[in-house]
Amino acid sequence: MPITKAIIPVAGWGTRRLPITKIIEKSMLPVGNRPLVDYSVQELIKAGVKDIYMVISNVEPCQVRQFYSENHALNDYLTARGKMDRLELAKTLPEDVHIHYISQDPAGRYGTAVPIAMVAEEYNLNEPVFVFFGDDFIWNPDGESAAESLLKSLKSDTDSAILGVEVPKEEVVKYGEITTENGILKKIIEKPALEDVVSNLVHVSKFIMSPALIQEMVEYVKSHDFGPKDQEYMATDPLETFVEKGGIVRVAPTSGQYLDGGSLDGWIHANNVVCGKK
């Protein structure tokens, strides 16, 4: 069954990247000649996605929306000067792909499960969807994309999948450690102590979520009332509940390199890799 829908949360203030995120949305920070989020958008499109649901902040102007909209003045300028190669570069979305925007109050409920639940309810999603977050991506220009790896891991229409990335053992403490059995997710342990690490496989918030897992996200957000200074609504919590109930989440390996623009060091590294300097 082809998967034609994807959720990409890009809301939030990007406080780890201040002061630049005061004027540039974190997902729009440039890596090479493209914004961070576009690496995920383009690979999802290549994997067959036609509808992308972006969860944006309710702050205007929205740079993500501007980037994926036509700039008619620019198009007219390029056409008048015969710069048709540049005109093609300015077209950031194919005609048959649509982005749907839903606003999230950055001062409201916080955590990775919230935007997923918001989109699911707003658009009544009842089919498998990709869920990619907008400030990181897998760089694998000569191999399989993250979206392709996730699709390849599925064994049935009811499966979900999570991308697993191998990192050195000492770096597992910065992520969510994945433990598996026969390629199926057993547990995610967020930021484990180094002495407790048993696997060098971590998750980087790249999923295919079945309708049942999406519903688990919705119920989790509905049934909890965390305040702004309380626990985050983490997607890994309902994911773990889903697994405990017997839900199947395949773990998809990747041969690509995980690049993260959320930190200054990670963003500089991503630019160096993409621009061929590392």
pLDDT at 240 over 80: yes
Is 70 exceeded by the pLDDT of residue 246? yes
First and final C-alpha spacing in the chain: 38
pLDDT over 70 for what percent of the chain? 99
Report, as an integer, the average pLDDT of 196-207: 90
Instruction: Give pLDDT, residue 229.
Output: 66
DSSP category for residue 196: G
Considering only CA atoms, give the Rg of the chain. 19
Q: Are 102 and 118 in contact (CB under 8 A)?
A: yes
Identify the band that residue 232 occupies on the pLDDT scale cut at 50, 70 and 90.
confident
Residue 162 has pLDDT above 70, yes or no: yes
The answer, yes or no, to whether residue 175 has pLDDT greater than 90, is no
Q: What is the DSSP string of 112-181?
A: THHHHHHHHHHHT--S-EEEE-TTEEEE-TTS--HHHHHHHH--STT-EEEEEEE--GGGGGGSEEEEEE
Q: How many Å apart are CA 228 and CA 223, to the nearest integer?
A: 16
238-267 mean pLDDT: 94
**With bands split at pLDDT 50, 70 and 90, how would you rate the model's confidence at 247?**
very high
Residue 228 — pLDDT band, cuts 50, 70, 90? low
Residue 191 has pLDDT above 80, yes or no: yes
Q: Which residues pair with 189 in a beta bridge?
A: 177
The answer to whether residues 259 and 169 touch, using CB atoms and an 8 Å cutoff, is: no
CB atoms within 10 A of CB 81: 10
Residue 185 has pLDDT above 90, yes or no: yes
- Report phi then psi at 104, rounded to 5: -120, 130
Query: What's the whole-model pTM score?
Result: 0.94
Domains and CATH numbers, the chain: 5-274 (3.90.550.10)
Q: What is the pLDDT of residue 278?
A: 64
Q: At what angle do helices 211-223 and 113-123 cross, to 10 degrees?
A: 110
Q: Are 260 and 14 in contact (CB under 8 A)?
A: no
Q: Chain-wide mean pLDDT for the chain?
A: 93
Question: Once rounded to an integer, what is the mean pLDDT over residues 115-134?
Answer: 95
**Burial classification of residue 38, based on how many CB atoms lie within 10 Å of its CB (0-12 exposed, 13-18 middle, 19 or more buried):** buried
pLDDT of residue 56: 94
Q: What tokens does 9 get?
A: 């949360």
